[in-house]
Amino acid sequence: MIELNGGIKIGSDLILDPTRVQQSAAVSHAHSDHIKKHKTIFATPPTLDLAKSSIGDFQGVPLEYGKTYNFNGSSLRPEPAGHILGSAQFVIDYSGLRIVYTGDFKLSPNDTCAPGQIHQCDILFIDTTFGMKRFNFPDYNYLKQRLNEFVEAALYAGEIPVIFAYNCGKAQEVMKILGDSGFNTYGTPSAYANAEIHTKYGIAIKNFHILDSRYPENGAIIIPPNYKDFDSLFPGYRKRTCFTTGWALYQSYIRMRPGDTLLPLSDHASYNDLIRYVEEAKPKKIYCLFGFNDIVEVLKYRGYNAVKATLANRNNIDRYVLEEMDLFR
């Protein structure tokens, strides 16, 4: 049995990224929308460390990239996803079928983790968060240049540069980019702790500090978008803000997030890379997780058996059960 209902369940004892607490689960990465405090978590070592930093202690079973692990009737092999440090795609063999769950992934460069690769399969569960044509992101080196220019311009104008980036993953990517350019970065205690975990796994992040009452010299403040005390940060000093997100290319988000700069620095795959993944993976059945319906319609037009799906168990979402007899309709 392969079931998509509050996670991806394969066979009797393997469930991927479940949305409710389980006795055991394989987890693709350490972002809070993919990880719960399961009793036992199977994940890469960096994911286990990042998760313990945010949700506390649990029993962790480390999974190494490229190695195969046997469960009851299935095998699982984690491969880099390119999303954040430790993020994994899961390549699974079950009942004569090759199944790939990409989790959140990215094919273009990311300075803080190994790039994602494409894996051929029969069934593809693919993250399609940015499955609209407008979400084709600029070149990575160009985005890094833009980020450095934002900080340099703010400092030149006597302003404090403030960059909004989530504490796990994006904050460390911003720290890495700016640190390599000689700037200091000042993050929340959580972002700082996650940066230390990055350095443990060989990601050389320079000049990062904990944000406190000290004035941030020659650098930028990095805080999450929902940071509650923004207005109280260094009162009396002018600040210039930058949101780093793929949603910067979405008009509705631009209206919701007024700021000085919106930089489409994303840790997800672009629209073109989603299409490329499908074309090279050659799946017979595709489950498009999250995002928009556009990508589903485009894939159908191209002749693929694609449907919209979600990991969550919601009353208005049908439960998808795959059985071998109807995979190839």
For position 319, what pLDDT does the model report?
42
Question: Which of 248, 263, 278 is the last residue before a domain boundary?
Answer: 263
For residues 99 and 174, membership in a common domain is answered with no
For position 78, what pLDDT does the model report?
98
For position 16, what pLDDT does the model report?
97
Q: How many domains does the chain have?
A: 2
* Of 247, 269, 252, 46, nearest in space to 164 by CA: 247
Please write the tens of the pLDDT for every residue from 131-148. Answer: 999 999 999 999 999 999
For residues 296 and 211, membership in a common domain is answered with no
For position 317, what pLDDT does the model report?
30
For residues 129 and 27, membership in a common domain is answered with yes
For residues 60 and 40, membership in a common domain is answered with yes
For residues 200 and 215, membership in a common domain is answered with yes
Question: Which of 235, 263, 291 is the last residue before a domain boundary?
Answer: 263
For position 226, what pLDDT does the model report?
87
Please state, in angstroms and rounded to a whole number, the distance separating the CA atoms of residues 120 and 283: 7
For residues 127 and 188, membership in a common domain is answered with no
| CATH number of the domain that residue 76 is part of | 3.60.15.10
For position 52, what pLDDT does the model report?
93
For residues 285 and 250, membership in a common domain is answered with no
Positions in the chain short of pLDDT 50: 313-329
For residues 208 and 295, membership in a common domain is answered with no
Q: How many other CB atoms are found less than 10 A from the CB of residue 211?
A: 18
For position 229, what pLDDT does the model report?
82
For position 77, what pLDDT does the model report?
98
For residues 253 and 317, membership in a common domain is answered with no
For residues 252 and 111, membership in a common domain is answered with no
| H-state helical runs in the chain | 45-55, 140-156, 170-180, 189-200, 251-256, 271-281, 294-301
| H-state helical runs in 116-159 | 140-156
Residues in Cβ contact with 158 at an 8 Å cutoff, skipping those fewer than 6 apart: 238
Look at the alpha carbons of 143, 170, 116, 326 in this order and tell me if their dihedral is positive or negative. Answer: negative
CA distances 28 to 124, 266, 277, Å, are 15, 18, 18
Question: Which of 263, 290, 311 is the last residue before a domain boundary?
Answer: 263
- 107 and 79 in contact (C-beta within 8 Å)? no
Read off the tokens for 246.
């793929």
For residues 47 and 150, membership in a common domain is answered with no
Domain that holds residue 302: 2-135+268-326
On the 0-12 / 13-18 / 19+ scale of CB atoms within 10 A, 10 is buried
For residues 50 and 149, membership in a common domain is answered with no
| CATH number of the domain that residue 158 is part of | 3.40.50.10890
In the DSSP assignment, the letter for residue 99 is E
DSSP assignment of 178-229: HHHTT-EEEE-HHHHHHHHHHHHTT----SEEE-SSS--TTEEEEE-TT-TT
